[in-house]
Amino acid sequence: MKKYMINMTVTESKSLHNSYCLLKLTSDKALPEIRPGQFVQVWVDHSPTTFLRRPISVHYVDKIKNELWLLIQKVGDGTRSMATYPPGDILNLLLPLGNGFTIPASADGKQKLLLVGGGVGVAPLLFLGACLKMEGFEPHFLLGARTKDELLQLEYFRQFGTIYTTTEDGSHGEKGFVTHHSILKNVRFDQIYTCGPKPMMRAVAGYAFSAAIPCEVSLENTMACGIGACLCCVEDTHEGNVCVCTEGPVFNIDKLKWQN
């Protein structure tokens, strides 16, 4: 897929809970095709301590409004700076980067697809869920967070499928981690997609391995260029060290050395 460097204008910046921000961007030109699971590299202005671009998952693409949504967790100076951009600010982005999730060939109404997200890792699953829904699937979302306030964007997820939640403090849904949710015992899924903290993804992958369910994970190794030139973001796979930015960020777990 052809990559572009484009300037985009902030149309909305919305604080979600204390540590997250939803940034909506638009462009004069029509956005190129973007697949769920792909990411963008954002040039962070106004932060003297931020040198490299910040790789951010595509949270949602609103084709009607020509809008790109980014869900940002304020982790360091770069992401905190991005959360302060007011509407009208211009951001420079590289997009679309990496490979997306695999969408099953055809919907026969029987496939049970589970999308498991934790924390800010829920970001790419909204767009994936939207695309799956449009293709005729009925996605199931299993979303986890520490507390109910950190369960992000539930009202949007609800539009595209069924939601199950877990919180560590029990303030929403079942108490505990996503991998403890009863839905995993009660329903046999045909495909799992997951994005979130690495320990969570490894636990989900462990479940998928043991239940022999195909599973794709989205990795977020620290990266510099985002286009396969610097070889910094590598993941150790059965094919050796490969760049997460170009070979991923979405990987089938069979390719990774995650099976214990």
Q: By CB under 8 A, what part of segment 224-243 binds other proteins?
A: 224-236, 240-241
Q: By CB under 8 A, what part of segment 93-152 binds other proteins?
A: 94
Among residues 18, 28, 49, 108, the one that binds other proteins under rule CB under 8 A: 49
Task: State the number of binding residues for other proteins (CB under 8 A).
Answer: 30
For residue 52, the minimal CB distance to other proteins (Å) is 5
Torsion sign, CA atoms 118, 123, 128, 131: positive
Among residues 223, 250, 253, 256, the one that binds other proteins under rule CB under 8 A: 223
Which CB sits closer to other proteins, 53 or 74?
Answer: 53
Are the beta carbons of 56 and 46 closer than 8 angstroms? no
Among residues 10, 11, 43, 80, the one that binds other proteins under rule CB under 8 A: 43
Cα–Cα distances (Å) from 91 to 33, 48, 186, 247, in that order, read 19, 16, 45, 26
For residue 240, the minimal CB distance to other proteins (Å) is 6
Which CB sits closer to other proteins, 168 or 236?
Answer: 236
Among residues 2, 110, 185, 188, the one that binds other proteins under rule CB under 8 A: 2
For residue 205 the two structure tokens come to: 């992958």
Which CB sits closer to other proteins, 187 or 229?
Answer: 229
Are the beta carbons of 245 and 226 closer than 8 angstroms? yes
> Is there binding between residue 6 and other proteins (CB under 8 A)?
no
Give the 3-state secondary structure of residue 105: coil
Residue 76 amino acid letter: G
> 191 phi and psi, to 5 degrees?
-155, 140
Which residues lie closer than 8 Å to 231 by C-beta, 6 or more apart? 241, 243
- Residue 145's DSSP bridge partners are 167
> Is there binding between residue 52 and other proteins (CB under 8 A)?
yes
> Is there binding between residue 222 and other proteins (CB under 8 A)?
yes
Q: Which residue has the tokens 């070889």?
A: 231
User: Can you give the binding site for other proteins, defined by CB under 8 A?
Assistant: 2-5, 43, 48-53, 94, 221-236, 240-241
